[in-house]
Chains A and B, each alone.
Chain A
Amino acid sequence: MTASHSADTQQPLLQIRDLRKFFPITAGVFNRTVGHVRAVDDVSFDVFEGETLGLVGESGCGKTTTSRCILRAIDPTSGQILFRRKNDEIVDLAKLTREELQPLRAEIQMIFQDPFGSLNPRMTLFDNVGEPLLVNGMTNREERTDRVADLLKLVGLRPEFMHRFPHAFSGGQRQRIGIARALSTNPRLVVADEPVSALDVSVQAQVLNLLLELQSRLGLTFLFVAHDLSVVRHISDRVAVMYVGQLVELAPTKTLFSRPRHPYTSALMRAVPVPDPRIPVGEVTLKGEVPSPANPPSGCYFHPRCRFATDRCKVEAPALREPSPGHFVRCHFADELDLTTAF
């Protein structure tokens, strides 16, 4: 992160505080609740204005649930989601009713993973991209046509494509259409859930470039959810790592990749195959399976798979601490371990 960049990212746009989302497990004829899946368990972080925060973790770690809670696609069990509106008023998204949320929807938008499933195949691009505008009160068709044309140009598509249907487009083009739709309401926060993981390598590079360009042109704030560490590293200012519903580490991208403090983060990085046959294959440092969030281990959730675990880790759950400014980690031994990577 450059100095100038950190200066304009001082103000948090989004503050997540103690967010929890538990899904009940029911059994029997009367659907008695017999337990909970702790999908998101006490997660707190900030997203600063104009930055990209990467959210990584394995499947089932709660990264998608967290992003869905922010969009209120699902209702969180407890916690606060504080969003700073255009007029600097701070609202708690977790407490608002559907009606109260309505005016805020335009400010927070989403880009989906699957470019084939997220566009309505029976609607033209004009309708797909223009629907959010219509919903938000732009009823004049000509005005909408102009806006959709501008949006298509913005994402690198020709405005003439407006009257075609999604099936005429490739995966990368469809993802551009999805981005145009997300940008139609001039959002300030864009939640992108695995936006490039369904794309081919060459197309992935094009879409990543587009996202970077749009961010600098429009001053967007991204919450970028992904599992591909090299993609997240490429696009993010800061990266948050989740494990079994908890945030285990959060730091500026370069710091996190050069000096991770949580053993899980370091193991995750070592697992990424490096595209160079001359770099010898490291040994597999992470063995076993991710525990179920319905029945997490005692103490530190990571202790059964951790190389450095002690007796203390088995009984005492570590709290999220800030051992150096801006670097948060949930590990008892974050200060003692030397996890420096090759990156």
Chain B
Amino acid sequence: MTAPLLSVRDLHVTFGLDEGSVRAVDGVSFDVLPGQVVGIVGESGCGKSVTMRSILQLVDEPGRIKQGEILYRMRAANGQPETVIDLTKLAKRGPQMRAIRGAEIALIPQEPMAAFSPVHTVGDQIIEAIQLHHTQWVPDGSGVSRAKAREIVVELFRDVGISMPEQRVDAYSWQLSGGLRQRAMIAMALSCKPRLLIADEPTTAIDVTTQAQVLALLRELQRKYGTAIIFITHDLGVIAQMANSVVVMYLGRVAEQGPVDAIFHSPKHPYTRALLRSIPSIVGETQVALPTIAGTLPHPFNRPTGCPYHPRCDERKGPECAARVPNLQPVDQGQSVSCFLHHDSSDTQ
């Protein structure tokens, strides 16, 4: 088995507020293998975005990584072998973390409109990133000239399918359509040749036809450069198309994870099963009541005891569900579940 590129181990992130502390991420573990697409699914408030921000050390105050490791395998450089570093140990604003953001791990944010500065051209913003991480392009450290960086941007724009790239380099983000802006964002994310791309709902704000184009583009670039992608979305259709493996999150914990086919065709966790049943299908019976998940998401200050899903679970096993927190245990080939229906292992709490 190949060694993982990124390995999140028992991550806990809490937000200390006046009313008490919110456990946004409560013991999350998963691996990302090189060149693999990992899909992360979950509803609002499940902690998927906070997990991603933790990887990049971008969690805002009062959020704090309380416990856990985020192990990233740095690529070999300057004759030095690959090293594994714990990102949680690095200073948030330190030079090491800043060298990793963009160059090693890049982010495609959800709203490309908000992510680009409206007062600089998109070209200038990408040129700045390339010149900052110049060793990604010119390893000897002699730097990248502005003219050279501009050439790279034009080439990247052509790669991501932006027509008339020479002109579009000088456009402002508000002059581009939603699809073009998202393509420019992808070009920016790829501009420093990262090995891991975090795509946080990259197609939620765009139309389905543009979404199809952007997803096809990401698949093609992923094949071409072998970039690993963590793909966050609430759209199970997108996950089915994009991911090799899937992590299902609920209330800051991993409910289930496994290969994409297993998650969709033999889901083990009651939450995954309920989630899959509740989406209207493009092939199923119409105008009938959809199966729903009973109740609502509990308030963050009012976390249920035991398994976080037990108050809404329709396959509840017994009193242990309310008493102990099941942890993630392998049950099948590559598939792990945190549910007492499948094992009897729990966290000591």
Chain A interfacial positions (CB closer than 8 Å to B)? 58-59, 170-173, 200-206, 208-209, 212-213, 227-231, 233-237, 253-254, 257, 267-279, 281, 283-284, 286-287, 289-290, 342-343
B158 CB → nearest A CB, Å: 16
Q: Are A171 and B44 in contact (CB under 8 A)?
A: yes
**A273 with B280, Cβ < 8 A, contacts A206-B292, A209-B292 known:** no
Q: How far is the CA of A267 from the CA of B284 in the complex (A)?
A: 20
List residues 258-284 of chain B with CB under 8 A from any CB of chain A: 260-261, 264-265, 274-276, 278-284
Q: Are B289 and A229 in contact (CB under 8 A)?
A: no
Q: Are B280 and A230 in contact (CB under 8 A)?
A: yes
Q: How far is the CA of A229 from the CA of B282 in the complex (A)?
A: 7
Q: B132 interface residue, CB < 8 Å from A?
A: no
Partner of B260, one of A237, A277, A286: A277
Q: How far is the CA of A231 from the CA of B282 in the complex (A)?
A: 8
Q: B240 interface residue, CB < 8 Å from A?
A: yes
A249 CB → nearest B CB, Å: 15
A169's nearest neighbour on chain B, judged by CB, is B296
Q: Which of A203, A213, A273, A286 has the most CB of B within 10 A?
A: A273
Number of A-B contacts (CB under 8 A): 138
Partner of B289, one of A201, A212, A273, A290: A212
A170-B296, A208-B280 given; name 18 further pairs at CB < 8 Å: A58-B210, A201-B279, A202-B275, A203-B296, A205-B293, A208-B290, A227-B207, A234-B284, A234-B287, A271-B209, A274-B237, A275-B239, A275-B264, A276-B240, A277-B240, A277-B241, A281-B216, A287-B213
Q: Are A231 and B241 in contact (CB under 8 A)?
A: no
Q: Are B296 and A172 in contact (CB under 8 A)?
A: yes
Q: Are B275 and A257 in contact (CB under 8 A)?
A: no
**A209 with B236, Cβ < 8 A, contacts A230-B279, A230-B280, A343-B282 known:** no
B11 CB → nearest A CB, Å: 23
B343 CB → nearest A CB, Å: 25
Q: How far is the CA of A203 from the CA of B44 in the complex (A)?
A: 11
User: Across the interface, which residues of B come within 8 angstroms of A269, CB to CB?
Assistant: 282
Q: Are B211 and A289 in contact (CB under 8 A)?
A: no
User: Across the interface, which residues of A come within 8 angstroms of B290, CB to CB?
Assistant: 205, 208-209, 234
Q: How far is the CA of A244 from the CA of B227 in the complex (A)?
A: 37
Q: How far is the CA of A23 from the CA of B281 in the complex (A)?
A: 37
Q: Interface residues of B toward A: which range?
A: 35 or more
Instruction: List, sorted by A's number, 5 A–B pairs whose CB atoms are closer than 8 Å.
Output: A201-B275, A233-B280, A234-B286, A234-B290, A343-B283
Q: How far is the CA of A203 from the CA of B297 in the complex (A)?
A: 10
Q: B139 interface residue, CB < 8 Å from A?
A: no
Q: B345 interface residue, CB < 8 Å from A?
A: no
B183-221 to A contact mask, C-beta < 8 Å, 1/0: 000000000000000000000000111111101100100
Q: Are B291 and A286 in contact (CB under 8 A)?
A: no
Q: Are B213 and A202 in contact (CB under 8 A)?
A: no
B110 CB → nearest A CB, Å: 14
B207's nearest neighbour on chain A, judged by CB, is A58
Q: Which of A58, A201, A237, A281 has the most CB of B within 10 A?
A: A201
Q: Are A275 and B240 in contact (CB under 8 A)?
A: yes
**A286 with B264, Cβ < 8 A, contacts A202-B43, A275-B240 known:** no
User: Across the interface, which residues of A come within 8 angstroms of B211, CB to CB?
Assistant: 271, 273
**A286 with B261, Cβ < 8 A, contacts A205-B278, A234-B280, A275-B237 known:** no
User: Across the interface, which residues of B come within 8 angstroms of A209, CB to CB?
Assistant: 289-290, 292
Q: B177 interface residue, CB < 8 Å from A?
A: yes
**A59 with B178, Cβ < 8 A, contacts A233-B282, A277-B240, A343-B283 known:** yes
A342 CB → nearest B CB, Å: 8
B133-144 to A contact mask, C-beta < 8 Å, 1/0: 000000000000
